[in-house]
Amino acid sequence: MDQHNTHGPGPADRPAGRPAPRPDRDHDTWTTIDELHDWLEAETGIPPEQDLLLRMLKLSEEVGEVAQAVIGATGQNPRKGATHSWQDVEAELCDVIVTAMVALRTLTPDAATVFAGHVRRVAARPRTPLGP
């Protein structure tokens, strides 16, 4: 997937049977999340309740990988030294975001709308100065 493609695929690129993207959605991102969710649903062999819990726990695993990359990028483990780059940290943070989006999609088929509403509420929060 080309992460820099901001226009998304055209109608000719859409698989047969897939509806046109809704204008209130980031086509590339949420289509990919839907596809990842559908793939995981098809591949799992465990009950839905257990699958949901494991998807939520997957977030902790991914956050741990961010911590490992930060420690590696800063060389804070004297036994190992610098083992990661800040680009590795970026990639791990992206994995956290994708994993959270898939988890949200697991909770609701309308994940894009739920997320957009939450972002609007966050944007509307008053900003107070940081510090003493």
pLDDT profile of the chain (132 residues), mean per 10: 36 45 65 95 91 94 97 94 96 98 96 97 93 80
Question: The whole model's pTM is what?
Answer: 0.75
Could you give the CA distance from residue 26 to residue 30 in angstroms, rounded to a whole number? 6
Residues 6+ apart with CB under 8 A from 29: 101
Could you give the CA distance from residue 130 to residue 57 in angstroms, rounded to a whole number? 32
Supply angle C-alpha 47, 52, 55, rounded to 5: 125
Looking at residue 82, what is its pLDDT?
95
Looking at residue 8, what is its pLDDT?
36
Could you give the CA distance from residue 35 to residue 85 in angstroms, rounded to a whole number? 30
Looking at residue 25, what is its pLDDT?
52
Looking at residue 27, what is its pLDDT?
61
